[in-house]
Structure formats: structure tokens, C-alpha cells
Amino acid sequence: MTATAGIDRLLADPARLVGERIGLLANQASLTADHRPTVDALRSALGARLMALLTPEHGLSGLEEDATAVPDGTDARTGLPVLSLYGPRRRPDPEQLARLDTVVVDLHDVGVRCYTYATTVALLLEAAREAGTQVLIADRPALLGPLIDGPALDPARRSFLGYLEVPFQHGLTLGELARRHARALGGAPLEVVPVAGWRRGEPPQGGFVPPSPGLPSRAAVALYPALVALEGTGLSEGRGTPLPFELAGGPDVDGHALAQAVNARAPHGVWARPVTFRPDSGKLAGRVCGGVQLHVEAATAAWRPLALAVAVLEAFRGIGKLAWTPADRMPWAGGAGAGEPWYEPVDGLLVDALLGDDSLRAIVEGRRDFADVSADWARGHARFLDEVEGDLLYGPAPYSAPGRVGGATRTGGGTVAVRPRPRVGLGIDAGGSSTRWQLRGAEGVVATGRLAPLAGHLHQDAGRADAAARVGELARAVSAADGVPAAVVLGVTGVGAGSAEAAWLQRVLAERLALDEASVEVLDDVELAFRGAFPEGDGIVVVAGTGAIALARSRDGSRLRAGGHGYLLDDDGGGFSIGRAALRTLLREADRSGAPMAGPLAARVFAAAGGSDWDRLRAFVYGGGRSAVAALATEVAAAARERDPEAERILRWAGEELARLARLLLDRCGEARPVALVGGLAGLGGDFETSFRRGIPAGVDVRVLQVEPVATAARLAWAAVGG
């Protein structure tokens, strides 16, 4: 199937644009599928309704150097006014935006936090929220693909170079980033037109168009997250040459010695050759530099750019040529806005602002080990994947980079020795909304990731074909990690151990991961949650996720269950039922009064759904499916914390329904047993938890646990390996 970019989908249905006064945030790389500039195509479709152009860093032409202010002006070809969002301002003026009904955004993003287009869109969204102007993002694939790597943003280092609270390399599209930021703002007038027919990890279709002057090639894009750290030093990253972000060097650098040092450390598939170059612009303009050109032979998803960043920076340090640049020495330091979180950094070291914290610098300076830092990063990635789940528009979800340096270990002499990949356990939690995986070894968690839901109608050929494709995606993601799975534990929604579906999944996983079938254990996801909450098997677990189910064991070891009949039949108390109840409340009030309901519940649900009119709600519900509706549970909880009475009522009802399941099993067990509430909704707290606790008979030990099924599966798998 051919992917269709958001702008082409919008042009096929321009009636979805709200209002008569339309603006466009774009640049020279914004093209339609038939290679027309977006500004031309939109002007042809809208005529005089297109009233203004907005531009990010580098301007409409994309010719301006980085960190060069671009003034407002008039586009000579169209006569449209041009409002620069990287010149007299970084953050749009809400009064200026109020003159527009809708701003369309069509930009190519790279997928790295310090690449400034995402910051510009975030600031646009904030101003649009104040102005009441709609923002419509015509989405495109991120150029770097699904890998997540690097540190989370230290709030103290928030700046124009790192504004959004995402990992350094985040794996999201611009539309997904905007959805997350809109939610963080408590709602914003945002609509995203997704890419149709595209799955994360697939390369963008069509020819490569440079998104900015510093990234003129695919090779430059691939190397950008590795070499951008050099912007925080006195060295050259190749700007001002024909090979930006492929070259690294500086005056008086011995390129041969540097190449030898880099090649001793570089990840597999990347190598360096000595070169001499002279930048025409930038911080070393006109100076002859010795250095290296980096060559990438591996696919982007098969190596870690930050591993190369460490290799290059350590190589420069090893030959005595590394010095960090203070942010207050940059040209922007004295500009209007200095010190504001939406402006470039003016305190500390520039490299820390680029990366988001000082962890990369700590590795290079020898204060911390890369493996330990990567493990910290990976834990942050897992939290990020949980937080962003409801904002994802495409499967599979991004996956976390492994905690390794290109599969190599350091020796005492500073050289690098290739080591065999260690045996690890692979845990998989295939829930109704997503599939999460985790590798666990002797040193703890090695890698984590997320995919689209694995389970479906596995008794049908179509369902098995889809599940087989997900298993293939899983195998490819796991193959890039630092470990070889020797045992697998899979917890999957609606598939019991010993069933025909479980046997099929066991066989497919074994084939794709080159394991014996005996090394793969398939459980239903509730059993997995039960083992995580009660390893000794002496309690009752109530799982509140997309659906709702309770599980216990009788004294003879047989399973006792209540609920779990699926969202079409029951599962009241689960995320889908909460989201459905919220939508039903809002729609019925609209039917009664003829106008959208007001209040925190309405504001949050409508913002998450992309609007309050029925067309958008219908697309959200029937296009996003049960996972989209279930994700609304967190919005209901947020509205309840703002004391919305309808949200509070819904959460009380959901807690009561879950308590009912626990009481049923307490009666069938015939004795008091501890009851644990687990699952994705266990952390909602407030009226939800209070209602659940009140519904359990007095004297029963009630626990609310943050049990991660994927972590339980990984621990069980690692134990099966012998760990």
C-alpha cells in the first residue's frame, strides 16, 4: 500500500479546514506527492483564504545558516506576508495568530529533540491556545525512524534547543509530538491529519528532500544525532562544507590519529577515514581542519548514533582536542528573550543543552560508564512509552535502544574487544492496546520496546497473518539489542495456556527467534498479572486495563475468574468502559442541549479526540478503535482531579464495578484473601481507588500495586534461562 502524507490527504479534502483565514507553517522541503510546493498547492485549493506564511529556523527558502535570525517579510512570488518564527520572535504573538482561523503545519522533522522544528510547533500550539486559533498538522514520517535513545530532558535545561519533554532521540512524528504537548497543556485546538498507509519504521516514500541546509543527504540525517554534540565544542561538525554532519575535525587535528581512535571505538557498520577540509562558514570559517569523514554501512535501526557520539568525542579527548563551549559565548546570548525557556540556552555548557542533561558529557569525561548511563536512559524510555501511548498514531511504537556501545566492551588499554552477545530472557505483554517487550539479563533490563497489539482473532487466517507480522517486527527490534533471547514468556490478552492459539503463538515465536518451542511459554495476560502480584498464588488480582477481569486460585490449584468477557459484552470498570461512559455522557448532553458540553471533562476529552463535532469524534472512535477510547480514562481521571462532577461519577462507578469482581471471587473462595488492583488504571487514584476500596468487605487486605506485566514476564523468562 502506498503511504499518503498528511498534506496530500488534506488537499483531497480541504473542506476540513476551519475558517476563512488560513496560515501555513512550511518551508522549501514542504512538497506534495506530485512535487508541488505545499504553498502553491494550498493556494490553488484555497485561493484568497490562504492569507499568511509562517516559517521555522532557516526561513522559507531553507537557505539561512543555523542560529541566523530570519526577518519577517513578503514572499515575492505569492505576495503573501511571511511571519518568521526564528528572528524577531521564537514564540508567536497570540494577537497575530488571532487574525488567523487555522494554521496548517507541513514540516519534515528529523526525530531529535534539539532539531528546532518541533520546538517551533510546540510554541505555535501554546500561542494558538491563547488566541483560539486552530492548528492542523499535516503529518509526515520522522526521518530517523523508530529508535528511542538518550536522556530525558532535565527541566532546568529547557530551552529552544530542547523544549519538549521527550528523550533526545524520540521516534515520534511531528503530529504525535504535538498531540502529547497539547495534552500536557491541558488541551489545545489541535487536529492532526495522519499519514495513511504507513507504519513506523518504514522509510518515507518519494525522493529525499533536505529539511534544512545542514542536512543535505540521507547520510547527514543518519549521522546528525551522533555529531550534533560537536556543536557544543570548538570543533567542526562539517557545517559550511559539502558534507555537514559527515565530517568531524578542527585546526591542528591529526586526521590519521583521529580516524584510528574513532575506528577503535565506533559501532559496527560505521567507520572513519582521515580527511582535510575548510569550512566556508560557521565557527571555523576559512580555517583548514584535519579530521575524519564518517561512513555508515549499517541500517539506521541497527546501530546507535549516540554510541558513535561517545566514540567520536572520546577520540577527540584522547588526542587532546576536546573543549566544551559555554552557552553564553554563543551569538544569541545577548538577544531579547535570553533566559526565557523558549529561547536558546545562555547558561551552562552548550552540549548539555543540546543533549538535555550532562550524562553524555559524564561518559566522555570518564565520570560514568556508558552501560550504566544507558540503563538509566532505558528506564526513562520505558516511562516515556507509557506516557505517550495514547498519543501514538502509528504502529509499532518506538523502541528503546539497548544499553551498549555498538556491541563492544572496553578493555583496560582503551581498545575495544568484540564480545559475544549475552543470553537474556525476553518478556512480552501483549495487551489489548499495545504489545510491550523487555529483555532482561544478568545486569537487569537490557532493552525495552512497544509494538501494536499482537493479539486479535487468532482463530482466523487474517488475525494470524497480522499477529505473524507483529512477531516479525518484534524479532527485528530484539535483534538490534545487546542480548540473544534464550527463553520467552508471553502474556497475551484472551489466549489461555494450552489453547490452539497459544500453541500457534509458541510455534511462531520459536521460529522467528530461532528457539525450541519448549523455551517459549504462552500465558494469558491475567495469569501474568497474577504472578506479578502474588508470586505465592494466595490472593485475588483485579486487572484494570483496556478491559477488566479478576483471577484467583482455589485450594486445589484450579483457576477462578470473573469478568474478562471483552469490551463488546461487559468489562465494565476497564479503560474502554470509562472512555465510552465519558463519550456517552458528552454526546447525550449535546443531543439534549444542542451544544457541546462544557467543563473539564468535555475540554479534556474533546482535546484528546481532536474536536467536539461528531465527524471528528466518529473518526477518533471508529478510526482509533478500542485503544483510543480506553486512553480517554486518563483524561477522565484528570477531569475528576479538577472536580468535574460527571468525571467523578464515572470513576466511582468504575471502581465499584471492579470491586464487584473481587467480591465474586471472595465468595467463591470461601475465605478472606488479599485483593490487589493492578493494570494500567491502577494508578488513577482519587475517586476510582476510593470507590474500589470501599467496595471490598471490611477486614480484607486491599493493595493497589504498580505491577508491570512486561517486567514480570521478563523476570520469569530470565529465571528460565537460569538467572
Q: What is the pLDDT of residue 480?
A: 65
The C-alpha cell at 627 is: 485503544
Q: Which amino acid, one-letter code, is at 32? A: T
Q: Which DSSP string do the residues of 447-467 spell out, in sequence order?
A: EEEEES---S-TTSHHHHHHH
Q: How far, in Å, CA of 238 to CA of 279, rounded?
A: 7
The residue ranges of the chain whose pLDDT is under 70 are: 1, 298-302, 402-421, 432-433, 455-459, 480-482
Helix, strand and coil percent figures for the chain, each rounded to 5: 40, 20, 40
Q: How far, in Å, CA of 553 to CA of 551, rounded?
A: 7
Instruction: Convert 551-619 into a string of H (helix), E (strand) and C (coil).
Output: EEECCCCCEEEEECCCCCCCCCCCHHHHHHHHHHHHHHHHHHHCCCCCCHHHHHHHHHHCCCCHHHHHH
Q: Which DSSP string do the residues of 20-72 spell out, in sequence order?
A: S-EEEE--TT-B-TTS-BHHHHHHHHHGGGEEEEEE-TTTTTT-SPTT-----
Q: How far, in Å, CA of 195 to CA of 718, rounded?
A: 39
Q: How far, in Å, CA of 649 to CA of 374, rounded?
A: 43
Q: What is the pLDDT of residue 205?
A: 76
Q: How far, in Å, CA of 682 to CA of 637, rounded?
A: 11
Q: How far, in Å, CA of 117 to CA of 54, rounded?
A: 12
Q: Which amino acid, one-letter code, is at 118? A: A
Estimate to the nearest angstrom the gap between the alpha carbon of 156 and the chain centroid: 21
Q: What is the pLDDT of residue 418?
A: 35
Beta pairing partners, 324: 233
Q: What is the pLDDT of residue 297?
A: 77
Q: What is the pLDDT of residue 699?
A: 92
Q: Over the stretch 438-460, which tens digit does the pLDDT of each residue have?
A: 999 887 888 888 877 775 566 67
Q: How far, in Å, CA of 685 to CA of 651, rounded?
A: 10
Q: Over the stretch 598-652, which tens digit does the pLDDT of each residue have?
A: 899 999 999 888 888 888 888 888 887 888 899 899 999 999 999 999 999 999 9
Query: Helix 614-641 vs helix 575-593: angle between axes, to the nearest 10 degrees?
Result: 110
Strands of 702-704's sheet, edge to edge? 559-563, 548-553, 540-544, 675-678, 702-704
Q: What is the pLDDT of residue 302?
A: 56
Q: What is the pLDDT of residue 414?
A: 35
Q: What is the pLDDT of residue 433?
A: 66
Q: What is the pTM of this model?
A: 0.65
